[in-house]
């Protein structure tokens, strides 16, 4: 190759190298532009912590499903749950304003609002869902039907309680999760309709004395009374009544849905959020409520489908609440009985008023509240119940 040919070849090679360089440079510039443009169009959202308090009840199963299935899917909320041992501890903790949300029985929530209105009601956790369980001493007179679906709030339990009072001149103790509970309201209505009085104080002239018994201790309370041949009962959220029924040391007498009838089921446990969380974590709170509705749909689907779908729900519940045995959970979610449901979870002002009116009449809570002020409907969701298989 001549000198001129060699020089020409070098020039050609250098030109090719420059062309390759400029092509690579243009690709890098384009990729950088697309990356920066994408980053500016979709900035990463920093999740906000949303901490909620709950009690180990079927009332709060939807929250457990949210935590296990949907927590990682949330865009705005870093959802945390803390289980409380009893309602008084939950009340004190929530009223301290150190947490964002709590799932609370409606009369207790209304009393808390009267005391310190730093929060609002933003939805339901479920509808219906509690039951009266009686021990053998009472059932000797009642003789409940064998099938739970045939047990209704007729006068038989009331007659037995009246006879016990007339013979002993002592009120029968009935355990409540808290005196300021929906359960107390339901029991008050049942007794009233059958001519009996309910007392929240000892030594009153009443056939029934409502005492506070923490839900996990309710089966033991019934069993110990039975062992001492003393009449006793409890009105608790599911599945505690089913636990004594399936365990063979108590009997479900009736379910609250039949005492307190209401369209879609009576108001029971409700979701509360602090005003601070509502103002500063609006999207995060709304996201949590969206997934509570979705989790409710999951439970409703699983109870009807059975099999693996129901097994998954049971496993999630038992992971958080080991005391809820499989048999009792399934009994509580029996689709034929349908004694608790997780549908129509938006704010229901008229449904809450039904509970409040009986609670005030029975002197369970001191004062009525302004439900319009108490409720915040901005967190209502679309009706998931229409999509259940």
- For the chain, the maximum distance between any two Cα atoms, rounded to a whole number of angstroms, is 130
Q: Is 127 left (phi over 0), alpha (psi -120 to 50) or beta?
A: beta
pLDDT the model gives residue 382: 85
Question: Could you tell me the pLDDT band of residue 7, with boundaries at 50, 70 and 90?
Answer: very low
Q: What is the per-residue pLDDT across 333-372, written as a single tens digit (0 to 9) for each?
A: 999 999 999 999 999 999 999 999 999 999 999 999 999 9
Please answer whether residues 183 and 219 qualify as being in contact, where contact means their C-beta atoms are separated by less than 8 angstroms: no
Q: Is 381 left (phi over 0), alpha (psi -120 to 50) or beta?
A: beta
pLDDT(163) > 50 = yes
Q: What is the per-residue pLDDT across 176-223, written as a single tens digit (0 to 9) for each?
A: 999 999 999 999 999 999 999 999 999 889 999 999 998 889 999 999
User: What SS3 state is found at 54?
Assistant: strand
Cα–Cα distance, 121 to 136 (Å, whole number): 40
pTM of the entire predicted model: 0.86
Domains 48-128+264-387 and 130-259 belong to one CATH topology? yes
pLDDT(28) > 60 = no
Topology of the domain comprising 48-128+264-387: D-Maltodextrin-Binding Protein; domain 2 (3.40.190)
Topology of the domain comprising 130-259: D-Maltodextrin-Binding Protein; domain 2 (3.40.190)
pLDDT(16) > 60 = no
Please answer whether residues 55 and 87 qualify as being in contact, where contact means their C-beta atoms are separated by less than 8 angstroms: yes
Sequence ranges of the domains in the chain: 48-128+264-387, 130-259
Question: Could you tell me the pLDDT band of residue 39, with boundaries at 50, 70 and 90?
Answer: very low
Average pLDDT score over the chain: 90
The 3-class secondary structure across 234-265, one letter per residue, is: EEEECCHHHHHHHHCCCEEEEEHHHHCCCCCC
Please answer whether residues 142 and 134 qualify as being in contact, where contact means their C-beta atoms are separated by less than 8 angstroms: yes
**Strand-pair partners of 48:** 77
């Amino acid at each position: 190759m001549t000198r001129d040919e060699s020089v020409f070849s070098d020039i050609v090679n250098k030109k090719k190298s420059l062309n390759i360089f400029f092509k690579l440079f243009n690709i890098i510039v384009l990729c950088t532009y697309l990356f920066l443009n994408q980053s500016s169009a979709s900035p990463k959202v920093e999740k906000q912590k949303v901490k909620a308090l709950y009690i180990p009840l079927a009332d709060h199963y939807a929250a457990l499903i949210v935590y296990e299935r949907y927590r990682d899917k949330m865009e705005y909320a870093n959802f945390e749950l803390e289980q409380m041992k009893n309602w008084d501890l939950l009340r004190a903790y929530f009223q301290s304003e150190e947490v964002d949300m709590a799932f609370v029985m409606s009369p207790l929530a209304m009393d808390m609002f009267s005391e310190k209105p730093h929060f609002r009601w933003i939805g339901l956790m479920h509808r219906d869902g509690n039951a009266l369980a009686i021990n053998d001493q009472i059932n000797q007179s009642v003789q409940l039907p064998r099938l739970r679906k045939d047990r209704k709030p007729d006068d038989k339990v009331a007659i037995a309680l009246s006879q016990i009072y007339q013979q002993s001149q002592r009120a029968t103790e009935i355990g409540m999760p808290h005196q300021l509970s929906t359960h107390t309201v339901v029991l008050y209505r049942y007794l009233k309709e059958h001519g009996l009085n309910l007392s929240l104080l000892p030594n009153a002239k009443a056939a029934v004395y409502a005492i506070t018994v923490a839900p996990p201790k309710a089966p033991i309370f019934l069993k110990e009374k039975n062992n001492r041949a003393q009449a006793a009962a409890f009105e608790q959220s599911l599945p505690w009544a089913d636990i004594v029924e399936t365990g063979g040391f108590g009997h479900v007498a009736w379910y609250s849905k039949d005492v307190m009838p209401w369209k879609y089921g009576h108001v029971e446990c409700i979701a509360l959020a602090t005003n601070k969380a509502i103002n500063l974590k609006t999207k995060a709170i709304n996201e949590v409520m969206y997934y509570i509705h979705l989790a409710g749909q999951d439970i409703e689907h699983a109870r009807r489908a059975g099999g693996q779908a129901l097994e998954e729900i049971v496993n999630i519940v038992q992971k958080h609440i080991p005391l809820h045995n499989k048999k009792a959970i399934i009994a509580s979610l029996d689709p034929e009985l349908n004694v608790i449901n997780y549908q129509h979870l938006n704010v229901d002002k008229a449904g809450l008023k039904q509970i409040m009116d009986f609670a005030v009449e029975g002197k369970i809570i001191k004062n009525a509240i302004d439900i319009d002020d108490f409720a915040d409907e901005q967190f209502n969701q679309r009706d998931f119940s229409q999509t259940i298989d």
